[in-house]
Each structure stands twice: as structure tokens, then as C-alpha cells.
Amino acid sequence: MEFANEPIFQWISQFAYEPGMVYAAILGMMLLSSVGLPIPEEVTLVSVGVLAFMGSHPEHFPPPYPGAPVVNVHMAAFIAFSAVICSDTLIYFIGRLFGRRLLYHPRIHKMFPEHMMRRVEEWTHKYGAYACGIFRFTPGLRFPGHLACGMLKYPVWKFLTIDGAAALISVPTQIYLLAHYGEPILNKLRQFKMVVLVVLGLLLVYFLFRKVRQRMAARHTGA
């Protein structure tokens, strides 16, 4: 497998027949990824999906002994989704608690370049709470983006609804597709993500257009 050369996969694959360790690794790696550390969330999800595929195809990937426990795709998908939502919500509340000064803290500022921070601010002001859906699909902007959503005190229910919907589309889907089709689905998965991003962009444009029309109508009525 070409993906076998990925360092994260090489590390986590040593626990291929210790599912408890894999589930714990999902929790830890998702949390570290959400706070901006260089542990790509997508690589973790793909690695877990590939392990689930290996476990369900013992004829191609013989276990170390008969009846060895394997990664359960349903459990892995549930844990990954829960870990993502909990991590995103934690970052949101950190931003809500500490406010704008945290976004420009020297350590945070060192991790994320000026142009990246400007993009976060532009998107949060332009799209409002809907921006958190874009941040979920934009790896480099997830951490500062979710911080910004908390700082701007977007309603918790709206953040959870939008972020949860975006996570539900991307997180379990990757694990289930890889567990069923294996590594060959990776290229199709990248195309799927691009389609999702385009659809989200069109929805955001629609909501913005409707909001502008409502404001213009209100001004016209007031006049």
C-alpha cells in the first residue's frame, strides 16, 4: 500500500490488533490536531479506516492469531466523530472565555501567519457562524477559526449545529468509505471533499445574498 509510508499510519498500525489502543489514539490525536499541532486529522482518519479495512479482510491481511480483535468501523467512526466535536467545542469555549487577546497571543501568533489570521477574521465577519463549517474543511484554519467563533460569541447551539453537520459529513464518511473500499478510494475521497466545499460555498453565498436583500428591503420600507 502506498499509504503505508505515512508516519502516522506506520505508528498506529502497530496496534492494528489492539483496537482499544487505536480508539485511545484517535481521541488523543484528534485533540492534539484540534489545538493546532501538526498531526493531520485527515491522515488519522484515513489510517483508522485502512486498519478497519485490514481487519475485515483477513484473507488479504492475516491476523497474528485466529480470532485476534480488530478495529470495529462503527466504534471507530463514533469515537472519531465524538472526539472531533468535543475538541472543536473546547477550542470554541477557550475563545469565548479569553476573548480576542488570545488570538494574538505571541505563541498563537507564531503558529499562524498574519495572512492566515486576516482570512479567519474576514470569514468570521463575512459569513458569521456559518464560517465554522468552512473551518472544519480547512485544516490550517480550524484552530484559529474555532477560537474566533468563540471570541465573537456566536450562539453555542448554532456553532454545534453547523460544526456538527460539517463533521458528520467528513469524519465518519472517510472511515466508512476506507473501511469498505480500502486505499483505492483515497482519490475519490479527495474529489468528494472538493464537491462538499463547493456546495458549502454556494450555500454561504445564498445566505449572504438573502441577508443583503432583507437589509435592503428593510431600509426601503423604513424610507
Q: Could you give the percent of the chain with pLDDT greater than 90?
A: 21
**Comparison of pLDDT for 11 and 102, the residue scoring more:** 11
Cβ density class 69-98: b for 16+ within 10 Å, e for less: ebbbbeebbebbbebbbebbbebbebbbee
Confidence (pLDDT) at 185 = 57
Confidence (pLDDT) at 70 = 93
Confidence (pLDDT) at 99 = 74
What is the mean predicted confidence (pLDDT) over 126-133?
80
Q: Mean pLDDT score of the chain, rounded to an integer?
A: 80
Whether residue 134 has pLDDT greater than 70 = yes
Q: How confident is the model at residue 193 (pLDDT cuts 50, 70, 90)?
A: low
Whole-model pTM: value is 0.77
- In the chain, the number of structural domains is 1
Whether residue 177 has pLDDT greater than 80 = yes
Interacting residues of 200 by C-beta distance below 8 A, sequence separation 6+: 133, 134, 137, 166
Whether residue 139 has pLDDT greater than 60 = yes
Q: Could you give the percent of the chain with pLDDT greater than 70?
A: 75
Domain that holds residue 208: 2-222
Among 150, 172, 2, CA closest to 84: 172
What is the mean predicted confidence (pLDDT) over 58-87?
91
**Comparison of pLDDT for 55 and 180, the residue scoring more:** 55
Confidence (pLDDT) at 75 = 95
Q: What pLDDT, in 10s, does the model give residues 15-56?
A: 999 999 999 999 999 888 877 777 888 888 888 988 998 888
Lowest mean pLDDT across 65-74, 101-110, 129-138, 159-168:
101-110
